[in-house]
Chain A
Amino acid sequence: MVYIESYALSCALGKSAKSSVENIKEFTSEPSTLSDKNKYYYIDEHQEQDYYESIIKIAKEALEEANLSQEAINKIGLFIGTSSAKLPINEALLKQTDEMLAQPNLSEMSSIIMNALEIKGFNTIISTACTSSANALVQAKEMIESGLIEKALVLGIELFNELSIKGFNSFQLLTQDKIRPFDQHRDGVILGEGISAIVLGKRPSAFQFVSGSIMLDTLSITSPMSQSLVTIMQQTLQKADLLPKDISVIKAHATGTFQNDLAEAQALNELFPNHPYIIALKPYIGHTMGACGTNEVVLLLEALKQNFIPKTLNFTTKSSDYPLVPLSINSPAIKGYYLLNYLGFGGNNCCLILKYSGV
């Protein structure tokens, strides 16, 4: 069995998992407004030269919390999930020097992080759009179960870059108002920054990583199909030897875009007629794209540790297309199975099931 041994997070809500979740209770995070009137959730007053420092700081926090020996750190497998990868650095250098893609080699990113952390084992960068770090979690879990590695450090990394914002804007997927998951008046997403780190291993903890699946949906490159989402959730339940009724809480992908929420809501209604709690975390920190997998796992687990399940912000009107109503008030944490959905451009879908056994 694979467990989440430790975690760390920096996002628009705060510079640690603890402070971020404390802020969820009071909700103090607001997106900044960009010059084109689009909004964005920054970690802080971000500077491009902090890129690797910010990542290494969060990775070190998770490694320290896991209390690993130097030998264990040397051997740990490094799995980086990121969509934009080195784009923030390349955009900064392009602005400063007009040099196009000054640092193209993707693998250089893991080399720098490994050197700083003294990791000498297996490493990989997984880049599958919004499922990148969720997929990295699944790949790390399976490699631990195979016996090839004992522990894994999974990093989710997404920092400000114009390409992602303007790319989403070109598809008219951004809202200039609020992310309203599953709401009748939802009109788009707000992007955000986030860095998170999760240490996976076999040392039992309150959070078991029960199962995970990754599947390709080839019906549309931009929009998920509800039947594909039903299939991946069923597969993940089967791997865990669970039935839909066994799931207590669902963390939906819930971008607040029209098609995405429609497909996910249809799938959730079909597979979970008993309607467990459904929550969405993007209204707190924005859509952190490649990092949303680990960011939202950490936010959820830290909230459970602080003994609550976070409500979904900005939901006011039930959609006329489906009857899904997300959790509207913070509720006491419950022991049991949590299903988490992640959907990405290119039909790349991921589903995780975690078990919370109480602190």
Chain B
Amino acid sequence: MYIYAFSNHQEVVFEQLSDKKKLLKTRVNRADNFVNLTLLGIEKCLQNIVLKKETHLYISSKDGNINSTIKILEAIFRKKQLPMPFNFLNSVNASILFFVAKNFGLEGKGIFTDSFDSALLQAYVDVKNGKTVLIGRVNEAIADLDLHRKKFKVQEITEQSQWLVLSPKQEGENALAQISDVKIKTSEQATKHSTNDLFDFLEDNNSQSSYPFNCKHLSFVVRKC
């Protein structure tokens, strides 16, 4: 399995969530922070690559569109109102797959899952079956930053939108790296690396050419091409 493109969008949040719309080439109706954060990472990933419409799409997130969910729960339980229809839609995890697929012309498989490395293993199966996969991880901050700090017990708040294009070896295309020796781990085996480590390794031009990763669900080796 080869990596043909990647992006490692991470932004530290200071006083408020950034206005991501200003940085996006594409504008999406009814897009909120989670949608724009997702699109921002993908735009960076796909700067030099056009995906075929059959490309499969995996989006992982530990909390999903948390701001839309909070808005709806506030409407229902605190204001005793019906939610706004499109707040409801944005809170449904499948909606982010739609926004990405629509904007980048994808009609393959679409899967939203809870963790990046569980998505990576599912993508590995697709690539073994000859498919190209766009796979990413998106974690947004709660707009109420005090609530975010309290809920997640952190001081520094970071948003992430990190993406890979994975494919079998393509004739005439230069891969950036190869992922090999993919193995499932048991939950008893220790985890040494996070998803950030993988993207930092890819981004670091001075890093060694080959590195074994030991994540929560799987282990694998990445060799830069």
Q: A residues near B, CB below 8 A?
A: 74-75, 77, 83, 90-91, 94-95, 100-101, 104-107, 109-110, 114, 119-129, 131, 135, 139, 142-143, 146, 148-149, 162-163, 166-167, 169-171, 213-218, 221-222, 344-348
21 contacts between A and B (CB under 8 A): A75-B186, A91-B73, A95-B77, A100-B73, A100-B74, A101-B66, A101-B73, A104-B63, A122-B118, A122-B217, A124-B115, A127-B113, A127-B114, A128-B112, A142-B122, A149-B184, A167-B85, A169-B82, A170-B83, A216-B106, A347-B101
* Docked-complex contact A114 and B187, CB < 8 angstroms: yes
Chain B interface residue count, Cβ-Cβ cutoff 8 angstroms: 57
What 6 pairs across the A-B complex have the smallest Cβ distances? A346-B94, A167-B88, A124-B118, A346-B98, A129-B94, A125-B114
Prevailing SS type, chain A contact patch: mixed
CB of A354, distance to nearest CB on chain B (Å): 19
Set of chain B residues within 8 Å of A128, measured between Cβ atoms: 93-94, 97, 110-112
The closest CB in chain B to the CB of A350 belongs to B109
Contact A216/B122 with A94-B73, A128-B110 known, Cβ cut-off 8 Å: no
Partner of B77, one of A91, A217, A346: A91
- Of chain B, the residue at the smallest CB distance from A127 is B93
Chain B min CB distance to A239 (Å)? 11
Asked if residues B125 and A143 are in contact (CB atoms below 8 Å), the reply is yes
Residues on A with C-beta less than 8 A from B88 are 163, 166-167, 170-171
Bitwise, B101-124 to A at CB < 8 A (1) or not (0) is 110011111111111001101101
Q: Shortest distance in angstroms between A138's beta carbon and chain B's nearest beta carbon?
A: 8
**When the two chains form their complex, are residues B110 and A348 in contact, meaning their CB atoms are under 8 A apart?**
yes
Inter-chain CA distance A106–B115, complex, in Å, is 9
Inter-chain pairs besides A100-B147, A171-B85, 6 sampled, C-beta below 8 Å? A77-B184, A104-B62, A123-B217, A124-B115, A166-B72, A346-B94
A95 (CB) vs chain B CBs: closest residue: B77
Instruction: Give Cα A77 to B122, complex, Å.
Output: 12
In angstroms, how far is the closest chain A Cβ from the Cβ of B206? 33
Q: Contact check, B93 vs A129: say whether CB atoms are below 8 A apart.
A: yes
